[in-house]
Structure 1
């Protein structure tokens, strides 16, 4: 599994195509982004990213992200 660090430039696929942004943090604890409950654990970490286009935060599985 790829390790991501705060500030890493990454991209991911969306229903509208590929988008990019920066890593804010990696979490192993559940959290809430907007109205979405994000389930995260040591066995299932999530990477919180900030979209370069919209500035919105989202959480993704590390496998869904690609370092640019």
Structure 2
């Protein structure tokens, strides 16, 4: 588990195949859920963060290790 923690509303950045994207944390996910038919295996021990892209408004789940404060 990583020590990276984020709060709802914080601006974060992450890398992907087209470069870097920024967005805001919507909430911390601590239980399995589905986002646009994609299964997110979040748990208390392995949380993920639901983030919303600033550019597109799309929402996706990311592991804390993939995010950094922007």
Bucket of the pairwise TM-score, normalised by the shorter protein: over 0.9
Deviation of the 1:3 alpha carbon: 1.4
Residue 43 of structure 2 is matched in structure 1 by: 41
- Show structure 2 runs of 5+ residues with no match: none
What is the TM-score of this pair, normalised by structure 1? 0.95
What is the TM-score of this pair, normalised by structure 2? 0.93
SS in 1 for 2:7: coil
In 2: Cα distance, 1:18 partner to 1:24 partner = 18
Residue 54 of structure 1 is matched in structure 2 by: 56
Show structure 1 runs of 4+ deviating over 4 A. Answer: none
Cα RMSD of the aligned pairs, angstroms, is: 0.7
In 2: Cα distance, 1:67 partner to 1:59 partner = 16
Deviation of the 1:58 alpha carbon: 0.4
